[in-house]
Chain A
Amino acid sequence: MDRKPRILSIDDEPSFTEMIKQYFEPRGYRIDVTTEGARGLELLEASAYDVVLLDLRMVGLNGDQVMREIKDKYADIKIIFITAYSDSGRTRERLMGEGAYAFVEKPITSLKYLEDLINRAVTNG
């Protein structure tokens, strides 16, 4: 894939989505962000994305529900969970089993790493 992946970040932490936007935009990515799961689904409806960066625990629709929705409607989209939730890997395994592409624990070690991860997700299919 020649063009850069199109990214949607759904995270209830505004400072996080803001940072993601600040990082990816200047690097030529098309990126949209939102702090609500429901709004995320609306955006998905409106435009096409390659990757969704998804928070797990959110007020309103949570990450689980959003993922199920995406899997139903847009099976190609890669889902990367980025969450502070940690329960010794149980949730991680479950979500990976349900089709998530990756599971990143906050605090993320590096933005560069995240960028690589996104690119790999899109390239490797």
Chain B
Amino acid sequence: MFNPQNYAFNEHALPVILVAFFMLSLGTFVYLRKKTSSINKAFLWICLSVFLWLVATALGYLSADPEVASSWFKIDNLGVVFIGINVYFFTVSFLGLNRKAVVLSGYAAALVLGLMIISSDFLVVGVRRYFWGYFPIWGPRGSIVLAFFFSLMLSSLIELYRGFKTTESALRRRQIAYFLIALSGAFTGSVDYMPALGVEIYPFGYLSIAFFASIVTYAIVRHQLMDIQVIIKKTIVFAGLFGAAYAIFASFAYLGSVLFENITPNRWVAMAPSVIIIVLMLRPLENFLRNTTERYLFQKSYDYKRLLRTFSDEVLTVLDINQLVNLTVNKLIDVIKLDNAAILLKSKSGERYDVAASFGVGGQRAEIRDTDPMVVFLRETGKYKLYSGPEKKNMSSGIVSAIDGLKPALAIPLMHQADLIGILTLGAKKSDEEFTPDDIDILLPLARTLSIAIANARLFEQLSESQAQAAQREKMAVIGTLSAGINHEICNPLGIARGQCEMFLLNLKEGIYAGKTQEELLEKAKEIMQKVINETDRATVITRKLSSFAKPAKGRPEGGVYIGEELGEVLSLVEHEFKLDNIEVKHEIPYDIPAVRADRKQVQEILFNIIRNAAQSIEGSGTISVSARLSGKHVLVDISDTGAGINETDLVQIFNPFFTTKEPGKGTGLGLFIVKQIIERNGGRITVKSEPGAGTIFTLAFAVSEKNGGKTENAGAFSERAD
């Protein structure tokens, strides 16, 4: 057996050896991952017995001498008798069954059989030569070995099937199912008994074992079979597979060169075709293997790359907090395929965590307070909480939390600067798969980015609020400066109404009406009352316009805003003032200019600000012209003045906040900044051209509204108002 001269090269031995070593490495790997686990030990035993069987078979193939081959086949069958009992032992350990007696007697029987097979002609009575090499001939006692093997294998399969039927845990069921499939596949390796019994069938048993090993490997990677969690480096798996495939490939190429040696005596020339084939095949093989490993070993049931990509592209840039959390929930539901998901956000008071976005969690829920044990756990540890699955490290059992109402399988804290700003809860996957460490590896950074996005959105919200406040302050300041004109429009009518009444009473008292008849007096009174009504109406119109203007805008484009109408509203507030300042306002808004998509109030604010600026730039007398035209899908509004104009250095800064050329105290420097902000928020644009000494022209672009505008809400004194 130990004399190399007794061996000759036989290509059929190569794949068998390869599978043998694959099984040996797999068993060793499983064992080393968890040395203490009896299941893993039992798996190692299976692998060792299979290794023994395959290696000895291969050596039998390689033997040139029938005697030597026969010795190897005896060793081969030693492995075989142990395979059955090893599989059975693994099965009962794996399922947690108590079959001690069967196992022990099984091992005893295997030991006895094995010893007899090695030391005598108990089983192997000789060898036969098939096209793949030598193969053992079994004597009549082969039936004992077969019965022993098949009874143990069938019992194992039955136990596994029962276990599969009765187990409740989804993960466990899947693990059992995979092992069941792997084992059934391996069972086809029994074909190797046929040639031993004299039927010439190629013993492809090693392929069955390769199948078994692949399935088990896959189940380990994907479903933590044998409680092994592997985060396998893609490159290592790829390198391994490539190496293995290449070895097989190279051996066939070597065979080819042996064939060519018959044609040419030069060994190197003979190898040339093989080398060429190898070189040509290298890339396609590499690609094939890369794709295969990607697809079967590393492709998650959801495509996490897509998740991360869409997440960073579409979700994180959203600055509206509601939209942000809703989009996130939808993406997670959509991509990971979850039963439910929710995002809780810390309330303003900080005392509660409210569901800001959810899917599939139902309506009625208990309030989640910041003192909730799970909230405390998440906040204090900053760690996620897995509600089921193999990774139970974080299981803090016994916590009763209001969060349970959201049916989470996984709860991830959303931390920002050591503060728990929210909680992301994910329900079970629709596939019933558990959350794996891989999932967690993806979800944790995702949650971290989400936290930042939420914090950003909150910040932006505050900023917009303060910006809106600034805009309102600016507007109130403007109204303050308007008061001269407004006063005129309000105080005059009031004074006249009062004066008319006073005059009537004084005339009566002082006898000025002495000569008049009752009827004449009544006529006089009627006349005065009509005047009073007219004057108070006049005052009412202006106050209504003013309060409508001063009311904060909604800030949402509502559509259907007619520039002409809003311009009219604005001009009515300033026209008297302008007249006094010798400023003429010309406006040409063609009647067929369509409505634009914007917030009415904001359009008024924009027009008001620009027109007021224009007026302020005019010294002495001048003209402000407002015109509108349609350009494609936009209404362009030109507001030009014959004022002082703006020099180039100032022009580039005029939309900057706090930039003003007005003397201290006269301008806040916010007017045009706010105008630009609100016009852009309304989906519009603003541009400016100016020529010092000649004037300035602002051009506003508003998108044409899809719907037709409604009339202004403050058209009449009796129109109902919402406020």
- Is A107 a contact partner of B498 (Cβ separation < 8 A)? yes
Chain B neighbourhood of A59, CB < 8 A: 579-580, 582
- Contact partner of B487 (CB less than 8 A), chosen from A85, A111, A112, is A85
Instruction: Give, as a whole number of angstroms, the nearest-CB distance from B526 to chain A.
Output: 15
- CA of A19 to CA of B506, assembled, Å: 13
- Is B506 a contact partner of A111 (Cβ separation < 8 A)? yes
- CA of A57 to CA of B576, assembled, Å: 10
- Is A26 a contact partner of B507 (Cβ separation < 8 A)? yes
- Is B484 a contact partner of A87 (Cβ separation < 8 A)? yes
Mask, A98-125, CB within 8 Å of B = 1, is 0000000111111110000000000000
- Is A19 a contact partner of B492 (Cβ separation < 8 A)? no
- Of A19, A22, A112, the most chain B CB neighbours within 10 A belong to A19
Chain B neighbourhood of A16, CB < 8 A: 492, 495-496
- Is A84 a contact partner of B491 (Cβ separation < 8 A)? yes
A57-B488, A86-B487 given as contacts; is B495 within 8 A of A112 (CB)?
no
**How large, as a class, is the contact surface on chain A?**
20 to 34
Closest to B582 in A: A59
- Is B499 a contact partner of A111 (Cβ separation < 8 A)? yes
Chain B neighbourhood of A13, CB < 8 A: 492, 496
- Is A107 a contact partner of B507 (Cβ separation < 8 A)? no
- Is B502 a contact partner of A110 (Cβ separation < 8 A)? yes
Is B301 at the interface (CB under 8 A from chain A)? no
Is B383 at the interface (CB under 8 A from chain A)? no
- CA of A62 to CA of B488, assembled, Å: 15
- Contact partner of B492 (CB less than 8 A), chosen from A62, A106, A112, is A106
Is A3 at the interface (CB under 8 A from chain B)? no
- Is A23 a contact partner of B499 (Cβ separation < 8 A)? yes
Chain A neighbourhood of B490, CB < 8 A: 84
- Is A62 a contact partner of B494 (Cβ separation < 8 A)? no
Chain A neighbourhood of B579, CB < 8 A: 59
- Contact partner of A57 (CB less than 8 A), chosen from B484, B493, B495, is B484
- Is A84 a contact partner of B488 (Cβ separation < 8 A)? yes
- Is A112 a contact partner of B502 (Cβ separation < 8 A)? yes
- Is B487 a contact partner of A19 (Cβ separation < 8 A)? no
- CA of A84 to CA of B503, assembled, Å: 20
Chain B neighbourhood of A62, CB < 8 A: 580
- CA of A95 to CA of B423, assembled, Å: 69
Is A15 at the interface (CB under 8 A from chain B)? yes
- Is B503 a contact partner of A22 (Cβ separation < 8 A)? yes
- CA of A110 to CA of B505, assembled, Å: 12
- Is A107 a contact partner of B492 (Cβ separation < 8 A)? yes
A-B contact pairs, 23 of them (CB 8 A): A13-B496, A15-B492, A15-B531, A15-B535, A16-B495, A19-B496, A19-B500, A22-B503, A27-B512, A57-B484, A57-B488, A59-B579, A59-B580, A59-B582, A84-B487, A86-B487, A87-B484, A106-B491, A107-B491, A107-B498, A111-B502, A111-B503, A111-B506
Q: Which residues of B contact A (CB under 8 A)?
A: 483-484, 487-488, 490-496, 498-500, 502-503, 506-507, 510, 512, 531, 535, 579-580, 582
Q: A19-B500, A62-B580, A86-B483 are in contact. List 7 more A-B contacts (CB 8 A).
A: A15-B535, A23-B506, A27-B510, A57-B484, A59-B582, A84-B492, A111-B503
